[in-house]
Structure 1
Amino acid sequence: MSKTLEFFFDLGSPATYLAYTQLPKICAQTDSRLIYIPILLGGVFKATGNASPATIPAKGRYMFQDLERYARRYGVPLKFNPHFPINTLMLMRAVTGMQLRHPEHFQAFIDCLFHAFWVEGRSLDDLATVASVLTRNGFDPDEVLALTGDEQVKAALKDNTDKAVQRGVFGAPSMFVGDELFFGQDRLEFVLEALG
């Protein structure tokens, strides 16, 4: 029986973007099932007392240099987003809403948003920019925006975030194979071993 990899993610994390580019390959290689679990990273930080490495200038500069090294190693594009960090509440509600209401379009939805955020460097905390990105990718911005106000969607994102914290998540990307937590896109070798 194949194993399951739970991927707790927030679009606003560049390390999460890099993990997202690699996890489907890892799961295909190990005949594992990838489960995407949207969380609100700001909520995780608040609950755990953690903060983005970018809040420490020297660490932030190093982090982005290191992420660029990994992007080259993985052979994927990565552009530092000049609008980083942004409040991702609206985006992650939209992601959760698409997963709940339109699962058949979920992958294409996160694909276009990750690309806009970490390849194009778009300002995804601006409604007009988000609407433009969604329209260009075949999504109706009004329908997506309506999802962000859906009480069930709001509750699901909060529940995902609360459960992540209860399981020991303190940042993103966080991945679980069974009860074993792996944090960071630089731990994918361990994820591969755990799934192998």
Structure 2
Amino acid sequence: MTDKTIDFYFDFGSPAAYLAATQLPHIAADTGATLAWKPMLLGGVFQATGNHSPADIKSKGPYMNADLKRFAKRYGVPFAHNPHFPINTLLLMRGATGVQMQHPERFASYADAVFQAIWVDGLNMNDPATVGGVLQAAGFDAAELVALASAQATKDQLKATTQEAVTRGVFGAPTMFVGDDMFWGQDRLDFVREALA
């Protein structure tokens, strides 16, 4: 019997994770699967696995940018390369973890707001004031979120999920699992759908 859960390991700093996030809820709905969002620190994964961002490779970065635009067009979703890339997502990923732990019903709103700010609006989410404004506009109390992100339980959970990802063989974002089958990259979503069929 097929496992009807999609484990979605992601980091807001990955444009490919943004594209995957625009499609996975539809795939889950179409197949009757549960989408389990797994916030992880991509920097931690890179450090543990010796991997690097494609943007670090001179000839690969421009290709990846063009490819991401092609996929955004195919999916019918907005996408713009962020001029402030790379984004330090530590606080954002802690925020995602904290919201998931304490206010799971608001997690989708949080994730949508952050992905939109980075990969559609091109905002500088390295700037705490910008982050505060984005989250305030999405209906969050920025001060409460900072407290939530700073809580030791939140930090521990994010570290644990990042380690869990590495243990399962994750080396980049996005990575999806259906049962034990791993799929890396937003260009592998057809295989995720097939695994759920």
Return the offset for 1:57.
Answer: 1.9
Residues 90-111 of structure 1 show CA distances to partners (whole Å, capped at 9, x for unaligned) of: 1100000000011111111111
Give the distance between the partners of 2:105 and 2:28, measured in 1 at CA. 19
User: Equivalent residues in 2 for 1:58-69 (5 A)?
Assistant: 58-69=59-70
Counterpart of 1:54 in structure 2 is 55
Q: Which amino acid aligns with 1:113?
A: V
Give the distance between the partners of 2:5 and 2:103, measured in 1 at CA. 22
Give the distance between the partners of 1:21 and 1:180, measured in 2 at CA. 21
Return the offset for 1:135.
Answer: 1.1
| Residue 16 in structure 1 maps to residue 20 in structure 2 | no
| Residue 194 in structure 1 maps to residue 191 in structure 2 | no
Return the offset for 1:128.
Answer: 0.3
Give the distance between the partners of 1:173 and 1:56, measured in 2 at CA. 18
Return the offset for 1:147.
Answer: 1.2
Residues 56-86 of structure 1 show CA distances to partners (whole Å, capped at 9, x for unaligned) of: 1220000010000000000000010001112
| Residue 89 in structure 1 maps to residue 90 in structure 2 | yes
Give the distance between the partners of 1:97 and 1:57, measured in 2 at CA. 36
Return the offset for 1:125.
Answer: 1.3
Q: TM-score, normalised by structure 2?
A: 0.98
Which 5+ residue runs of structure 1 have no aligned equivalent?
A: none
Residues 111-165 of structure 1 show CA distances to partners (whole Å, capped at 9, x for unaligned) of: 1111111000111111000011011111110001111210000000000000100
Counterpart of 2:8 in structure 1 is 7
User: Equivalent residues in 2 for 1:125-136 (5 A)?
Assistant: 125-136=126-137
Give the distance between the partners of 1:144 and 1:188, measured in 2 at CA. 32
Give the distance between the partners of 2:80 and 2:51, measured in 1 at CA. 25
User: Equivalent residues in 2 for 1:32-43 (5 A)?
Assistant: 32-43=33-44
Return the offset for 1:9.
Answer: 0.6
Give the distance between the partners of 1:32 and 1:175, measured in 2 at CA. 13
Runs of 4+ in 1 over 2 A off after TM superposition: none
Counterpart of 1:114 in structure 2 is 115
Identity %: 59
Give the distance between the partners of 2:47 and 2:138, measured in 1 at CA. 33
| Residue 153 in structure 1 maps to residue 151 in structure 2 | no
Q: Which amino acid aligns with 1:172?
A: A
In the alignment of these two chains, the number of paired residues is 196
Which 5+ residue runs of structure 2 have no aligned equivalent?
A: none
Counterpart of 1:173 in structure 2 is 174
Give the distance between the partners of 2:142 and 2:116, measured in 1 at CA. 17
